[in-house]
Structure formats: structure tokens, C-alpha cells
Amino acid sequence: MNGLCINNAFSPTMIVFSSEEKLFFSVAENPPSKQPNNILYVVENMMELFSFSPKDIDFISVVKGPGSFTGTRIGVVEGKMLAFLLNIPLVALNSLELIASCFEKEVVPVIPVGRNAYFVSRFNFGKRIEQDLCINLEELLQIEATIITPVSSLKNVLKEKRVIVHIPTFNEFAKKSFEKFTEGSIVDDPLSLTPTYLRSVNLIFKGKK
Amino acid sequence: MIILGIETSCDDTAVAVLNEKGKILSNVLSSQDEFHRDFGGIVPEIASRKHAELIGYVIKEALNLSSKTLKNIDIVSVTYGPGLVGSLLVGVEAAKAISFSLNVPLIGVNHLEGHIYSLFLESSPLCQINNPFPLLILIVSGGHTELVLMKKHLSYQLIGKTRDDAVGEALDKFARALGYSYPGGPAIEKLGRKGDPHFYHFPRLNFKGSPYEFSYSGLKTAGIYYLNQHKNEIENHINDIAASFEEASTDILVQRTLRAAKDFNVKAIGVVGGVSANKRLREKFAKKSSMDVYFPGPNLSTDNAAMIAMAGAMRYKAGQTSDLCLDAVSRLKLA
Ligand SMILES: [Zn+2]
């Protein structure tokens, strides 16, 4: 069983192609400003380099957010289209769950999103104990528990707090993907998958007006 | 050869299936109008969210209606600009996934080139003509007002465009001032049909030394100014006012186009884009032009994916394909 795992919801963009035993190839990209939408170009070239073809992919795992709107959307569209086109199962990972799954204790994963907005949740030994929320800095500062974030600059913002900067490793990403796949957490109809946005367009629109 | 076309440059999710002769096997369009109406225009974030939600289903539907399957697709063609970048990206990524998974060539198409090739679909009379070049194209929509000269296929020379607003934009804004919701062009046309186009003379600006340039900002302002000054007349003369505004908008288009057609000694004229569906515009060209003027077939004036598939097929025949690096370019130029 080989899984192609794609994260484009938060930086860095990660592409992992792996079986349960062996990681065949992995790529991380952290483009400075440009939209990171060359994922399929990278996948095609890496597969060719390692003598794989799309037929060798047994399932797709994609991070469905919350995270960057555009980035997540690109990842989700690619993930669901690949699963549909290749007629293989689709696994959708929550970004906060993925980050928390790397820690065996109670943690609050945080992804900062633009001006004074933070996606947060709470997990204990990888098990969800709170719903995902979008909160402001004031609310974030009131949180007790270890904060885990892939964004190092958050450390400066939360000086007093216990913050661990951690980007899931390729192995952790693959492991979580296989775990979901094996337990049968598969999207019923791949085409139905939409990103987890957390913020409604009405709110964003009013904020800009 | 079966071509799958994808168009998501604005607010419609569109997918079409075409055969090598340019025959439309299916042409599916999922409109988002209802989601944007409350905002009085297109909200880019809503548009891209809807595209991401719908794209797979629209592709599936287009295949079903064409009685083709994924295995039958030989080429995938997609709009990569100009347009809303967040919207374009959804179509581009879906097309790249098709190209990668099915191992078929990917072709990135300019949206305006797509509109031009709506004239070359199998159903259109223009493709019955052996060599229609040089051909003058007027592109008219909510985002564009341009005159393009084609000396051969896939070759474009921009000879004039709007200095400010597009004609469709002016029609939309005027309709809104009259109390009609987005999209306003069809509302103006409907009202105007029952009105007197000579009720009021709105200005038709000309530019000295730039005979092929357009400006619609002035007309729009004059229109809104008129409405503010004549509030009492609106109720009784709404049809006449709409007809007069439509008359001015279309007069400018016809005058510039016929001038350019004469100066560049073209063989024929093609009028494409959303506003090319306007009946008054079509009548006026028929009446005033001494040469043949071609328009897209029914429902092919507004954004659709059949035209993108057609342009993609032409590019493929010319040996021009894209790779999986294809990126959305919001301000992509035709020429
Ligand atoms: Zn258009």
C-alpha cells in the first residue's frame, strides 16, 4: 500500500510518497511569496525519478485545513481530483490534529492566519478535546497548556507562554495518514471534500468594508 | 480526439467535452449568481470556494452528458488567465490533476482566446469559411472591451481597447443605479426592448488620434448623473432611459469596429464575449456593416468551457502544450 500525502494548508508545503514500511520520497517547499501550486509538477518529476507511475498510488492523503485559504484550496482540489481520477481512497487530515498528533500530552496546536487571527484546537495524546476555533490574540494569550505551532514567529508574539515550534516530520505526516487510512477514515465521495475554512466569507467581507 | 475544457476564471464553474471537429458533446455551466447577488458583485473568496466545491461534480456531469468516460479524454484544456487568481487556480489545478492522472497533454488557454474561438466551434458559420483572415475581433464583456486583429489562427494584434471601464461594467453599474441586481446587462436589454432609444442622447466620446479606443467611465458617470437629475422621470420612462443608455453603449462599439474594419481592410468581423449576446448590438452590426459579422452561437457568448476546449484543440494542433508548472496569471495578455 502506497500513500501520496499532500500538505498545502500551512507552510511548508509537504509532499510524501510512502508505503507503511518505507518512505520513497519526500519534498518540502517554502516558497517566499509565490502561490505554491507546483505540487503536481514535483510529484510527476519525483515519481519519474524513482520509477513510479500514478498507478502505484493506492490512496491519497490531503490536509484539508484549517490554514491558508488559497493554499488549502489548491491542496484539497488536487487531492480530491487525484482520488477521483485514479479511483482510489481519499483521506483528509485536519491540520491542527496533524500538528497535535506529534505530541503525547495535552497540547494546543495553533496556526496564525493573517491579522490578529489564530486557528486553535486542543488535543490530549492526539485525541481531540475541543473543537477548532478562530480566535484573536487576546483570547490566545489566555490559553493554558503547551502551544504547538509550525510558525516560529509565534514564539515572539507569545513571549511568556510555553510554545514549541514544530513542523510535522515527513514520517509523522505519513504515519498519521496511514493511521487514518487503516482505521477506515476515508472520505465517502472524494469529490465532496471541501476545505475547512473556519472563517465565513460574510465576516471577511464585512471586515474589509 | 476528445477534448475536455475547463473554465473557472470568474464566477461560473464550466466544463465542456468536444470532439476533434469542434462539435460540442456537452457544455455544463454551474452559475454562482445567487451567491454573489447579495453583495452587488462578485466576491473573489466566495467564487473560489464555490469553484473548489463544484469543480469535480461539474467535470463528472460534463462527461456523463457527453456519454464519455475519463478513459476517452485525449487532451485537457484550461483557462489560466486573465481572471480572478483564486478562481483560475481551481480550474488549473483540476486540469493538472487530469493531465497527471490520465497522462494526457495539458493546454493552458487565454480566456479571451477562448472567446475568440467560440466563433470556430462546429456549429458556427465562420468555420465553414476557408480563410477568414484578416479577421477583426471585437471582445466585449464585463471585464473587456478590445479590438483585436487576427491575420492567422492563434495570432493576435491588439489595435484598441477601453481606457477605463469595460462596456459590460458600465451596463452593470447603470442597471444597479436603476435598481437592478447583478448581472445588470441583461436587465438593461430587457427594459430597453420596450423603450425609445432616442429618448435621451447620452454622450459618445471620441478620442482625437485614437480612433479605436473606447471609454465607458464617462458614459457610466453621465448615465448615473442623468438618473440623479431626473429622479421623477425614472418611474415613467425607465424603459426609454435603459434603451437610450444601451443605444449609446452599442453605438460606440459599432462605430469603432467598423472604422477599424475599414482601416485594416479585413475580410470579416467577429464579435465575442458576454455583451455580444445583446440583440440591439447584433441588429446594429447587421444594419450598418457592409461585410459579414459573426457572433457566437446560442449560449456561447457568455463564459463557457466549450470555447476553452476549442482554443485548446487549436493550440494542440499547433504543437503548443503546457507542463504541470502552469500557473494562473490574473492579468494575462492576449497580445
Ligand atoms: Zn469572458
Confidence of residue B42 (pLDDT cuts 50, 70, 90): confident
Collect all residues with Cβ–Cβ distance below 8 Å to A33 and sequence separation of at least 6. none
Q: What is the pLDDT of residues B288-313, one digit of tens each?
A: 999 999 999 989 999 999 999 999 99
Peptide bond into A168 cis (omega under 30): no
What does pLDDT average to over chain B?
95
d(CA B200, CA B174): 15
Cross-chain residue pair A85–B102, CB shorter than 8 Å: yes
What is the β-pairing status of strands B145-150 and B135-140? antiparallel
pTM of the model: 0.94
Q: What is the pLDDT of residues A105-163, one digit of tens each?
A: 999 999 998 888 999 999 999 999 999 999 999 999 999 899 999 999 999 888 877 89
Cross-chain residue pair B55–A190, CB shorter than 8 Å: no
Task: Report CA A130 to chain centroid distance, whole Å.
Answer: 18
Instruction: Determine the residue among B72, B324, B326 to mutate to test chain A binding: the one whose Cβ has the most chain A Cβ atoms within 10 Å.
Output: B324
pLDDT of A33 reads: 47
Q: Taking CA atoms, what residue in A is nearest to B45?
A: A201
B residues 47-76 closer than 8 Å to A (CB): 48-49, 52-53, 55-57, 60, 70
Which of A48-62, A117-131, B181-195 is predicted least confidently? B181-195
Indicate the residue of A78, A85, A197 with minimum beta-carbon distance to B70: A85
d(CA B114, CA B272): 10
Does residue A85 carry a pLDDT above 70?
yes
DSSP A46-72: HHHHTT--GGG--EEEEE--SS-HHHH
Q: What is the pLDDT of residues B244-256, one digit of tens each?
A: 999 999 999 999 9
C-alpha B140 – ligand 1 centre gap (Å): 8
| A204 touches B at CB < 8 Å | yes
- Tallying the residues shown for chain B, one arrives at 335
B180–chain A nearest CA distance, Å: 22
DSSP B153-172: TT--EEEEEBSS--HHHHHH
- Which single residue is written with the C-alpha cell 518512505? A23
d(CA A126, CA B184): 52
| B205 touches A at CB < 8 Å | no
Peptide bond into A12 cis (omega under 30): yes
Does residue B35 carry a pLDDT above 90?
no
Cross-chain residue pair B49–A205, CB shorter than 8 Å: no
Q: Which of B91, B139, B85 lies closest to B270 in space, CA to CA?
A: B139
C-alpha B116 – ligand 1 centre gap (Å): 10
d(CA B334, CA B82): 9
Which of A32-36, A79-83, A89-93, B116-120 is predicted least confidently? A32-36
| A73 touches B at CB < 8 Å | yes
Contact A5, A57 (CB under 8 A): no
| B329 touches A at CB < 8 Å | no
Confidence of residue B122 (pLDDT cuts 50, 70, 90): confident
Which residues are bridge partners to B79 per DSSP?
Answer: B109
Contact B144, B273 (CB under 8 A): yes
Cross-chain residue pair B94–A81, CB shorter than 8 Å: yes
Q: Which of B197, B144, B190, B151 lies closest to B166 in space, CA to CA?
A: B144
What does pLDDT average to over chain A?
92
- The dihedral region occupied by A125, where left means phi > 0, alpha psi between -120 and 50, and beta the remainder, is left
Q: What is the pLDDT of residues B153-174, one digit of tens each?
A: 999 999 999 999 999 999 999 9
| ipTM here | 0.94
| A145 touches B at CB < 8 Å | no
Residue of higher predicted confidence among A209 and A130 = A130
| A43 touches B at CB < 8 Å | yes
A176–chain B nearest CA distance, Å: 24
Instruction: Determine the residue among A8, A47, A73, A199 to mutate to test chain B binding: the one whose Cβ has the most chain B Cβ atoms within 10 Å.
Output: A73
Confidence of residue A192 (pLDDT cuts 50, 70, 90): very high
A103–chain B nearest CA distance, Å: 32
pLDDT of A209 reads: 37
B102–chain A nearest CA distance, Å: 8
Helix (H, G, I), strand (E, B) or coil at B136: strand
Residues in chain B within 8 Å Cβ distance of A41: 96, 323-325
User: Percentage of chain B with pLDDT > 90?
Assistant: 88
d(CA B53, CA B176): 29
d(CA B167, CA B12): 20
Residues in chain A within 8 Å Cβ distance of B97: 40, 77-78, 81-82, 85
Cross-chain residue pair B56–A81, CB shorter than 8 Å: yes
